[in-house]
Structure formats: C-alpha cells, structure tokens
Structure 1
Amino acid sequence: MDAEAEYNNRARVPDSAAIIARWMRDAATFRTTWASKRLDVRYGDTEPERLDLFLPEAGGPCPLALFIHGGYWQALDRTSVSHFARGLLLRGVAVAVPSYGLCPAVPLATIVEQMRRAAAVLCMTTRQRMLAVGHSAGGQLSALLQATDWPGFAQGLPTGIVPAALPISGVFELEPLLPTSIARALNLTPEAAHALSPRWLPPPGGELHTVVGGAESPEFLRQTRDFAAAWGGTAEEIPLANHFTVLDPLTDPDHPLSARAADMARRLASL
C-alpha cells in the first residue's frame, strides 16, 4: 500500500485548495448572516479553546449537536466550517462548532482532552446530551467522545454526555499514517497512535453512523467499513463525493444525511 497516496487527501483531490477557499468564504458569510448565535464562547483557558453556538431561529428547547472540523489535527479551525451547521439548524437542532489547538504546537492527546472539555462545558451549560459529528480528524475525535468515561474525566459529570456519533470520512486507525508526511507534525509513537485509535477501543454502546465519500481512497472506505463493524454501527457512502465534497450535504436541510443527523440528535435524552 502507498500510504501517502491513500491518506494525503489534499494531494489526492486536485481542487482541494479551491474547495477549502470556498469553505472559508461560505463560513464567513454564514457567521455574519445567521441571526441566532453565540460566538467565541470560551470552554477552556488557552486561546484556541473557543466555540461558536448556532441556534435554530425558531427558538425554544432543541436538540444539540457538536460539529468538529478536520485538517489532520494540524490545520483549520471552527471559522472554516461554520456553514456546515445549516442543514441541522434548519431542522431544529442547535450546533456548537469548536476550535482546538493544532499539532505540532500541542500534542494530539491534548486535542482529545480539549474536545472532551468542550463537550463537558456544553453539557453542563445546556443540561443536554449531544450528538458528535466530525469530519476527517474530527471523525476520530467524535468517536473518542462517544467512548469517553465522563465521570472519570471530571468529577460530577453524568454518564453518556455523547451517546451518539456521526463521523464523516474519519480516521479510526492512526497507525497507517505513521509513514506518511501527515504524521510529521503529529509526533506519535506506534504505541500512542494505537491508543488514540477508536478502532481498537471497546465499543461504547449508543448509536454510531459512519459516512464516507464514494470517491475516497480505498483506505478511507476500508477504515469506515471496519470501524462501523467493530462498534456495531452502520456505514454509508455518499456517491461520487470526495474527502471534501462529502460535507456538502450538511448545508442542505432536505438531504438525507441532514435528516439522519437531526433524527439522531432528537433521540438523545436531556439530563
């Protein structure tokens, strides 16, 4: 296997730079035009530890989802992906979009802790459990949130803060990344890569639905399929979608993926 060709998505998708530039423009427009929002909410002490909370315009009680951006734990932030909250918002689901520290400035284990802290703060603030949705690196993070022992993470937290996850084009086994250029900033030992791989954790229960683009590399297709099977979840391919366009359905409230995510969020019980 040529791991670099399998996992280097920016090189694999010729117009990836143009797609990400479009994300930036669309996200900036969305952040400006969506009326009901709370921007730059701190969930921790360091500068990256902020989130944006977008609320359905109808107001009132609503389910909650957490959308975690990708970038191989070393690129992008919440302001790159704000517009992907649109589909869920128009289906009546609030969406929190966090930033986190990036490798190599912080280790990957710290990013995991930051996302756990963001979920914990959201839970205690809203008194709600949440669906974790994540793209690429965010898919790994969303799965780890579902697998978290929350009372063990912080005293006073209830169990099952994140009882459902919807990872999109996630990386669930980190060991195959180690020989690639992607791994340079991650600085992972084989042991750390294994420990941070959701694929090798005991299935936590709850609802899991994995998504991958039909035009993605064989390794991303395999990882999605194998992870869903290991955790007893379901897997879906978006026809013709690559690693970046696979997110486009989330902007459309009428797309089946937005409908499925909203249904998953609604099934979660409040505290």
Structure 2
Amino acid sequence: MPGKSDRIDYEAEYNNRARVPGHPAVMQRWRETAEAARAAHPPLELAYGRGPREIMDLFDAGDAAPVAVFLHGGYWQALDKDWFSGLAPALLSHGVSLAVPSYDLCPAVRLGAILRQVRSAVETVRERTGVRPVVFGHSAGGHMAACMLSEGRASAAVAISGVFDLAPLIPTSLNKALDLDAREAAALSPIHWPVPNGSTPGGTVLDCVVGADESPEFLRQSRMMADHWAADGVKTRYDALAGLNHFTVLDPLFDPGSAMVRRIAALANAAA
C-alpha cells in the first residue's frame, strides 16, 4: 500500500524545495511574469467569501468567454494568487478567461477548510458564467482540481504534479503544518473519492501531467490516479514531460503555443 513501505524516503520524495535547489530562481520568474501580466491585463478582483484570502483574480477574455480556474500549489501552506498572474496571457491569447483564487493556509486552517473554500471559489465562477469551469492546478492544486472533478463541480480537470493519496505525507516535515493523521489523510485523498461517471453532473475528463524529472513518488501518484479513474470509465491522460521538474513543469503554461495551454483552452471551449 502507498505510504506503508519503509524502503521509501518520503521526505526526499515529497520535499520538492529540498529536491530542486534551483527552485528560488524559478519562483522568481513566476513573480516577474505575474507582475508583468497584472500590468498588461489588470484583473478584476472577486470575493467568493468573507475572509481576507477568500478572493480571486479574474483575467477576463471578454463577454461569453470560457473560464479556466487555476488552483495554486504550496502544499496548502504557502503562496497565493499573486504568484500566478503570469499564467493569464497565454490563455487570454486563446480567448479563455482565467480565475486564480487565493485560499487560507495551514496551519491556520485545516486542509478540509481549504477544500471548502476552493469549492466556493469554483461555484462562484460557475454562477457567474452558467457553466462548470475547467479546473487546473499544480501540486496541492492538482489534488484539489481532482477533488472538484470528483464532486461534479468541474467540466474537466488538469492535475499537474498532483498528490492524490495524502498518506505518504504523514511521516514528512510537510505534515507539521498539515497535521494529518491516517484517517484524515484517507478522507481527503481523491484516490479514495467517488469516480465521476456518465451519471455524475460535471465532466469526466482528467489529465494527470507531471515532470519526467520529478521524484518517483510524484510519477507514481499521477500514473496511479490516471489508471485508477480510467479503469472506471473516466477519460484520463498521463503525460510525463521530458526535462521538467516539480517547478519547471509549469513552464509550458507561459507559452501560448504549448500543448498544455492548447489542451486547457480546448477543454474550456468544449465546456462553454
């Protein structure tokens, strides 16, 4: 069972900042592209709740444009919407609006509370447009994108470097803020959630994308999730992107011509 083998060093497998020494330079590029995007395309800020972090940026591609929702990573304990504004220009060039919510962070709140906030954010987009949005996310955001698809809140999900079984995080330093035990980890892991099917409102398309240079555990998580849901009828894709690690795996999202951007745009237009 995942998370049970004492032969795996889960700290080394899941602590991506330690695993990728060059991550500060990548994150600095996220900051720089975000600032440039906000200057070129000032977003509309929308509240989806009453809390100070229950807000999202909407980069609007125009009336009746389809909307994609990006859920950021940071292991549910770091970052916010402002880091990822740089994803907007590529999607805007395809006529797709982008919504990027912030949410509260652990340990100030528990992971279950973050999921409730993300539900509210996605539902706010749905109420605004009248259709279920495509939801895509990175790392922790990949986990939450799959959760939204399981619940029927998304028309499709693209999970980038997602963690779909949380049990392996329990023995790691990452769990200091999350404070997960075996019961809560199982309850919040989408690998154990209902599989969306033809009778489920919403979509039945899940892409699991991961950097080929990521840890064996991240590769396993994405392959496992794609295979598990495919066996129950979900249209899944598994794609390990050559030469990319847990941070650079987002690089294609800044390129309007990349296969990842074109895929998200196609899924968004199919839902509109």
- Fold conserved between structures, TM > 0.5: yes
| 1:51 corresponds to | 56
| 1:210 corresponds to | 208
| 2:180 corresponds to | 188
Within a 5 Å distance, the mapping from 1:1-271 to structure 2 comes to: 1-35=8-42, 37-39=43-45, 41-56=46-61, 59-148=62-151, 160-205=152-197, 206-232=204-230, 233-269=236-272
Cα distance in 2 for partners of 1:184, 1:143 equals 24
Match of 1:181, SS state, is: coil
Cα distance in 2 for partners of 1:112, 1:207 equals 20
Cα distance in 2 for partners of 1:85, 1:29 equals 10
Does the 8 A contact of 1:27 with 1:82 survive in 2? yes
How far the C-alpha of 1:105 sits from its partner, in A, is 0.4
Does the 8 A contact of 2:37 with 2:88 survive in 1? no
Cα distance in 2 for partners of 1:4, 1:134 equals 22
Runs of 4 or more consecutive aligned structure 1 residues displaced over 3 Å after TM superposition: none
How far the C-alpha of 1:85 sits from its partner, in A, is 2.4
Residue deviations 1:198-218, cap 9 Å, x none? Answer: 111121131111100010000
Cα distance in 2 for partners of 1:17, 1:183 equals 22
Residue deviations 1:70-104, cap 9 Å, x none? Answer: 00000000001111222222111111000000000
How far the C-alpha of 1:62 sits from its partner, in A, is 1.4
Unaligned runs of 5+ in 2: 1-7, 198-203, 231-235
Unaligned runs of 5+ in 1: 149-159
Does the 8 A contact of 1:86 with 1:250 survive in 2? no
Cα distance in 1 for partners of 2:141, 2:252 equals 17
How many residues get paired? 254
TM-score for the superposition, normalised by structure 2: 0.91
Tell which deviates more after alignment, 47-56 or 198-207: 198-207
Does the 8 A contact of 2:64 with 2:129 survive in 1? no
| 1:153 corresponds to | none
Cα distance in 2 for partners of 1:129, 1:175 equals 30
